[in-house]
Amino acid sequence: MMQAVKTPAPLAERLPRLALFTLAVAACGWWSIHMALGPSGFSMLWIPSGILFGVLLTSPRGHWPAYLVCALLAFLASNLQRNGAGLLTLALSLCNLFDAWFAARLVTSRVGDVGQLASINRTLRVGGVATLLACTLSALAAATARQALMPQQHGFGVLFETWLASHALGMVIFGTLTVIARVEGRRMLGPPARRLELAATVALVAASTWLIFAQSALPVSFLLLPPLLLCVLRHRFSGFVPAMALIALIAAMATAAGHGPLVLGAGADDDVARSRMLQLFLLCCCWVAFPVASVLTERRVLTHRMARSEQQYRMLADYSRDLIIRIGPERSLDYISPSVTELLGWTREEYERARWELIHPEDVAILQNTMSPLYESGGMASIVYRCRHKQGHYIWLAANVRSARDGKGQPALVYSGRDVTSRIEAEQALEQQARRDPLTGLANRLLFDERLALALARGWRNRTRVGLLYIDVDHFKAINDTHGHAAGDHALREFALRLGGCIRSVDLAVRLGGDEFAVLVEDIATPQSPQFVADKLVAAMREPIRFEGIPLRISASIGIGMSGPGHSDAAALMRLADEALYQAKAAGRNTWRLAVAPTWPERASAS
């Protein structure tokens, strides 16, 4: 459990403080008994329990026994002079001790730190209930003891209500004063620039109380509310607590002495009515001013919390390396973080003016279609897109866009993006490696299968043909056996290079494995298109490949398969190409053969 004072000090170091506490409680007890005396010897305003209550709330639980012992001694001393030595003095002192201890125990068990302004409303609610319950129990015990040990003219009900009201008011007013004084210290006086104003306002309340209680008309007492509210409005609890304490002290002394509007309003000789009038008056002052102070304090806490939250948000946004953008209801860029300069090279003004012009043309529609639904349905979306740097190149940004509400409740968006160019390029490189042959750089079988399926699907939709060339390097094993694998690898790389020079940019050259290659040709109108590629490759291989000064003569056997218009059977096309390749090898190699699916007359011709 957190308390305002967290580190217990040794008892020897606390002795001076305990002695001062004992004297203060004893002095306040003497004042309450002699200067605010009510019916049957009960005080109309009991201050000591309020001080003990506040001290217990702001002390570690381990310090409580010492404070309780000191308070009991002070209570005994205060009651001894009034009631003499006996059981009544002991009983009343224990009742005084009980209500402060029991209320503090209830509050600390349900509120972590009473000094936290953020939870002040909960603290006040718990404290109010605990005070009322504790004072009710102690009032029952005290009134019973007084009736049993020292019968008076006043009945049990008068004793009960006098004790209950005096202790509850004392604990609320002076308990709050003690808590604030111990938790805030000098800060309870407010900012240094406003302390003189606080002192003047409290002095105004004290002077007004003194003047009002020098009068005899009961309605005049309500003229105290304006200066009290002024003090509360200007200084919140820093004004309420000292002002209310002074009002209670002055009003109690004047009423006990038989002066003021409450005496004449109740009857000069009726001490019970005077006590009730005083306690009711103080209760009305608390009821009027206490909620105002509480609301203003809560408003201050919320204002500070909001200012701190905004400061933290702005600090995070301004110093984050991510690009933070707040997009308003009209799609305007209400905020752009300074990281836009580090990330993209543009100033905030330049980025706002250019905006959509900086997005890669292929990504504009994707970005707009992702963000627009968020205004209507809310939620969050993620997108990866390209944005132009001021130096002209594009970088990849990964963005999270979340819907929000602006200060007017209108839909808005919060954008957070970061540079993921390195990650995307690495992914693309890995994807490239997964679909490319490491020796020749040509497509591998994985990419070939994907592109063949796509080509046949397009051919089926467009009623066009697809051509497939299967290519084997003739007598490649002899090169490996004669000149070594290094020569074989060099020959394959050079063959792949010449093959790439014989096809269109839209065609796909593939190394299927070993000395087997393939070429995928799309949108064929006549058989001459793949035949042209085969003729070019046969011609290109007539020039020897040189390896370390050694000429390597290489030729190729080529089988050409052509699908029928709108056909989408990959296996059938590969069978055609494989059959044609077998025919080319059977014809003596270094040549090509063509196999065409039905629709065009099947024929086989040689280069």
Kindly list the domain boundaries of the chain, sorted by start residue: 14-189, 191-319, 320-421, 435-596
Instruction: Please report, for the chain, how many H helices and E strands are present, in that order.
Output: 20, 12
Residue 561 in contact with residue 576, Cβ under 8 Å?
A: yes
CB neighbour list of residue 396: distance below 8 Å, 6 or more residues apart: 384, 385, 386, 419, 420, 421, 423, 424, 425
Question: What is residue 389's predicted lDDT score, i.e. its pLDDT?
Answer: 93
pLDDT band at 40 (very low <50, low <70, confident <90, very high): low
* pLDDT reading at 294 higher than 50: yes
Q: How far is the C-alpha of 192 from the C-alpha of 198, rounded, in Å?
A: 10
Q: How far is the C-alpha of 308 from the C-alpha of 88, rounded, in Å?
A: 55
Q: How many CA atoms lie within 13 A of 287 on its CB side?
A: 6
What amino acid positions are annotated as catalytic residues? 515
Question: What is residue 331's predicted lDDT score, i.e. its pLDDT?
Answer: 84
Q: What is the mean pLDDT of the chain?
A: 84
Residue 101 in contact with residue 76, Cβ under 8 Å?
A: no
Q: Which CATH architecture describes the domain 435-596?
A: 2-Layer Sandwich (3.30)
Question: What is residue 39's predicted lDDT score, i.e. its pLDDT?
Answer: 65
User: What average pLDDT does the segment 284-310 reach?
Assistant: 80
For residue 449, the Cα-to-chain-centroid distance in whole angstroms is 48
* 320-421 matches 435-596 in fold: no
Q: How far is the C-alpha of 450 from the C-alpha of 510, rounded, in Å?
A: 12
* pLDDT reading at 91 higher than 80: yes
Question: What is residue 43's predicted lDDT score, i.e. its pLDDT?
Answer: 83
Which of 227-252 are b and which e, b meaning 16 or more Cβ less than 10 Å from the residue's Cβ?
bbbbbbeebbbbbbbbbbbbbbbbbb
Q: In terms of pTM, does the model score above 0.75? A: no
* DSSP-H helix ranges across 150-194: 156-184
Angle at the Cα of 147 from the Cα atoms of 143 and 152, rounded to 5 degrees: 110
Sheet of strand 380-388: strand arrangement: 333-336, 323-327, 411-419, 394-405, 380-388
Lowest mean pLDDT, pick from 81-90, 112-121, 576-585: 112-121
Which of 58-71 are b and which e, b meaning 16 or more Cβ less than 10 Å from the residue's Cβ?
bbeeebbebbbebb
Q: Which CATH architecture describes the domain 14-189?
A: Orthogonal Bundle (1.10)
In the CATH hierarchy, which top-level class contains the domain 320-421?
Answer: alpha beta
- Percent residues over pLDDT 90 in the chain: 22
* pLDDT reading at 601 higher than 50: no
Residue 267 in contact with residue 273, Cβ under 8 Å?
A: yes
Identify any residues that bridge with 600 across adjacent strands, giving them in sequence order: none
Question: What is residue 319's predicted lDDT score, i.e. its pLDDT?
Answer: 66
Q: Indicate the helix (H) or strand (E) that contains 349.
A: helix 348-354
Question: What is residue 2's predicted lDDT score, i.e. its pLDDT?
Answer: 40
Q: At what angle do helices 156-184 and 271-319 cross, to 10 degrees?
A: 30
Residue 467 in contact with residue 524, Cβ under 8 Å?
A: yes
- According to DSSP, residue 601 is labeled P
Amino acid in the structure at residue 298? E
Q: How far is the C-alpha of 592 from the C-alpha of 472, rounded, in Å?
A: 11
